[in-house]
């Protein structure tokens, strides 16, 4: 099984698609380490939040991921 | 996928008057929603509403810079719980007969409604404050990303410092 | 009788956007008026409205004290000029795309609309402030006398100190 | 010719009708002097404004009335 990554807002353009399936890994940091370097750098920004199945992840090194989980990357929302 | 809606009732005890919170993916009629809401709250002396719509022009810029379309994307597992939590906070803070929060996502054209907030209260001041608070916080706390189509090109809209100032009014 | 409307244009130079100010002697549809107003101002990003309606019950009192009907009387030679002057003041103070003020007079039943104020603006904060200001001042400066029918008896409603407090917020 | 008096709000009950025709007189004070004493007292209150053809009268002794004029008496408006 795999993980589903969801890229919101402008991150979609950077990732080339709104969603992507990747091989499972134990922590968010380890998931990021396997992505393209520029995308990994953008997702690692302090301004980008990460949600695991709808709950914000505070420790990206925690080894909590299970196969089938959904990880969403949330940049600052738009004004206006 | 049952976690998607597992946090809806996280607000503690049930408020006296429940809020009507909805996310629409296609266009809606603000006047029909408002009429229904008003009729549902006959004990309210006043109803304050805010309707946000896609502007037909961004204003002072040249005609070629007019917004042709607007797209709002959101992340469902966060958006709806956040809107419900905001609604519970508002019902706990002001004495309302009812609260309505409707937000669009998807692609919208100029003139289309984006957001409708309405507060019904026995006292005018409560209704104004609750609707004003709801808009300030919806704009800044909700998970909506916005793209505008200008001159045939889509571009993402950046966050604004002004939204954080709006929120600071209430603390 | 031409003095009846001779003071309508007393506000000095014409504002950029005229106000729509009307007095109705019979019932109206707030949703239809609001829809028309919103459509007339496509450049406004937001429309804030206040609808005041006859409450179906005065609230905490016993069932026998419910308001059965409401009558508003006004003095035409003063009411309409005062409403126009208030509208001009609001247009001069906030940057609005449009302003709507509709007020009923005559006999109304529970659920009937009494007053509808709407402000359309490019910026949300201006629309909220203008509608809020309009209601505070309409209530306190307009020449309306109110009678309520309770338990089959009509009684006049006295002025409230609260209205003067509302106005003091703006000075 | 005559003057038309208009009684607003609760003054209508005191006057017994919303409007009344009276003989012309030069000033508001002289009009009041010819009314029933309790009505005249109520209309003389500092809280009751008087409008002549739609304009508030500030000097009730000014001899400005003409036949056909409309005098309205306006108590404080209702709250709520």
Extended strands (E) in chain B:
19-24, 46-53, 67-74, 98-104, 106-108, 113-121, 144-150, 153-156
Local confidence band at C142 (pLDDT 50, 70, 90 cut-offs): confident
Which residues does chain B have within 8 Å of residue A74's beta carbon, measured at their own beta carbons?
75, 78, 143
Quote the CA–CA distance of C74 and D54 in Å, as a whole number. Answer: 12
**Touching partners of A (3+ C-beta pairs < 8 Å):** B
For an interface test with C, give the residue of D9, D57, D71 to mutate (most C CBs within 10 A).
D9
Average pLDDT of the residues in D43-58: 94
Give residue A50's region: left, alpha or beta (phi > 0; psi -120 to 50): beta
Give domain status of residue D29, yes or no.
yes
Local confidence band at A71 (pLDDT 50, 70, 90 cut-offs): very high
**Can you give the pLDDT at residue B10?**
39
For an interface test with C, give the residue of B33, B46, B61, B139 to mutate (most C CBs within 10 A).
B46
Tens-place pLDDT, residues B83-103: 999 999 999 999 999 999 999
User: Taking a C-beta distance cutoff of 8 angstroms, is the pair A60, A71 a contact?
Assistant: no
pLDDT, greater one: C42 or D73: D73
Mapping DSSP to helix (H, G, I), strand (E, B) and coil, where does residue A61 land? Answer: coil
Main-chain phi, psi angles of C159, to 5 degrees = -65, 150
Give domain status of residue D80, yes or no.
no
Q: How far apart are the CA of B122 and the nearest CA of chain A, in angstroms?
A: 31
**Chain A / chain B CB contacts < 8 angstroms:** 58
Buried b / exposed e over A30-67, threshold 16 CB at 10 Å, is ebbeebeeebeebbbeeebbbbbbbeebeeeeeeebee
CB atoms C46 and B57 under 8 Å: no
Give domain status of residue D27, yes or no.
yes
**Touching partners of D (3+ C-beta pairs < 8 Å):** C
For D75, name the nearest residue in chain C, comparing CA atoms only: C145
Which residues does chain D have within 8 Å of residue C145's beta carbon, measured at their own beta carbons?
8-10, 75, 77-78
Least confident of B9-13, B46-50, B112-116: B9-13
SS (H, E, C) B70-82: EEEEECHHHHHHH
Q: Would you give the end-to-end CA distance of chain A in angstroms?
A: 40
Residues 6+ apart with CB under 8 A from A69: A3, A4, A24, A52, A53
* pLDDT, chain C, mean: 84
In the predicted structure, residue B130 carries a pLDDT above the cut 50: yes
**Can you give the pLDDT at residue C11?**
40
Q: Residue B155: CA atoms inside 13 Å, Cβ hemisphere, count?
A: 10
In the predicted structure, residue C1 carries a pLDDT above the cut 70: no
Residues 6+ apart with CB under 8 A from D30: none
Average pLDDT of the residues in C106-132: 96
In terms of Cα–Cα distance, which of C137, C114, C29, C55 is closest to B121?
C55
% of residues, chain A, pLDDT over 70: 95
pLDDT, greater one: C161 or C128: C128
Q: What CATH number is given to the structural domain containing A70?
A: 3.10.20.30
User: Taking a C-beta distance cutoff of 8 angstroms, is the pair C42, B111 a contact?
Assistant: yes
**Can you give the pLDDT at residue C171?**
64
**Can you give the pLDDT at residue B55?**
86
Give domain status of residue D55, yes or no.
yes
Residues of C at the D interface, defined by Cβ within 8 angstroms: 3-4, 7, 73, 75, 77-78, 81, 139-140, 142-146, 156-160, 162-163
Average pLDDT of the residues in D26-38: 96
% of residues, chain B, pLDDT over 90: 61
Give domain status of residue D70, yes or no.
yes
CB atoms C49 and B44 under 8 Å: no
Total number of domains in chain D: 1
Cα–chain-centroid distance for residue B6? Answer: 22
Helix (H) or strand (E) holding B164: helix B161-168
Residue C39 CB coordination number (10 Å)? 10
Average pLDDT of the residues in D57-65: 94
Helix (H) or strand (E) holding C59: none
Tens-place pLDDT, residues B107-127: 999 999 999 999 999 999 999
Of D6, D54, D77, which has the smallest distance from its Cβ to C144's Cβ? D77
Give domain status of residue A79, yes or no.
no
ipTM: 0.82
Local confidence band at B162 (pLDDT 50, 70, 90 cut-offs): low
For C112, name the nearest residue in chain B, comparing CA atoms only: B42
CB atoms D80 and C77 under 8 Å: no
Local confidence band at C71 (pLDDT 50, 70, 90 cut-offs): very high
For D73, name the nearest residue in chain C, comparing CA atoms only: C75
**Can you give the pLDDT at residue B3?**
37
Q: Which domain holds residue A57?
A: 2-74
Main-chain phi, psi angles of C4, to 5 degrees = -60, -35
In terms of Cα–Cα distance, which of C13, C33, C11 is closest to C22?
C33
pTM, full prediction = 0.83
**Can you give the pLDDT at residue B57?**
67
Give domain status of residue A46, yes or no.
yes
**Can you give the pLDDT at residue B84?**
94
Give domain status of residue A66, yes or no.
yes
D80 reaches C (C-beta below 8 A): yes
pLDDT, greater one: D32 or B18: D32
In the predicted structure, residue C53 carries a pLDDT above the cut 70: yes
Q: Residue A61: CA atoms inside 13 Å, Cβ hemisphere, count?
A: 0
In the predicted structure, residue B24 carries a pLDDT above the cut 80: yes
Residues 6+ apart with CB under 8 A from C67: C54, C55, C57, C58, C110, C148, C149, C150
- Give me B32's structure tokens: 């029909």
């Amino acid at each position: 099984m795999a993980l589903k990554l969801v890229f919101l807002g402008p991150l979609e353009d950077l990732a080339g698609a709104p969603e992507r399936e990747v091989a499972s890994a134990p922590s968010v940091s380890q998931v990021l380490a396997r992505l393209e370097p520029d995308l990994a750098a953008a997702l690692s920004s302090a301004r980008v939040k990460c949600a695991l199945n709808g709950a914000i992840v505070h420790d990206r090194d925690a080894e909590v991921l299970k196969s089938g989980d959904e990880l969403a990357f949330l940049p600052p929302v738009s004004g206006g | 996928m049952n976690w998607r809606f597992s946090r809806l009732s996280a607000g503690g005890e049930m408020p006296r008057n429940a809020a009507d919170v909805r996310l629409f993916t296609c266009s809606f009629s603000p006047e029909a929603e408002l009429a229904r809401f008003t009729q549902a709250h006959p004990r309210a002396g006043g109803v304050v509403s805010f309707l946000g719509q896609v502007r037909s022009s961004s204003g002072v810029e040249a005609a070629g810079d007019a917004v042709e379309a607007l797209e709002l994307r959101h992340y469902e597992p966060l958006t709806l719980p956040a809107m419900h939590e905001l609604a519970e906070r508002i019902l706990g803070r002001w004495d309302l007969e009812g609260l309505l929060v409707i937000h669009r996502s998807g692609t919208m054209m100029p003139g289309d409604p984006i957001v409708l907030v309405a507060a019904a209260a026995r006292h005018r001041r409560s209704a104004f404050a609750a609707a004003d608070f709801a808009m300030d916080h919806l704009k800044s706390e909700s998970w909506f990303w916005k793209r505008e189509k200008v001159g045939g090109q889509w571009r993402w809209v950046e966050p604004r410092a002004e939204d954080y100032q709006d929120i600071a009014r209430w603390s």
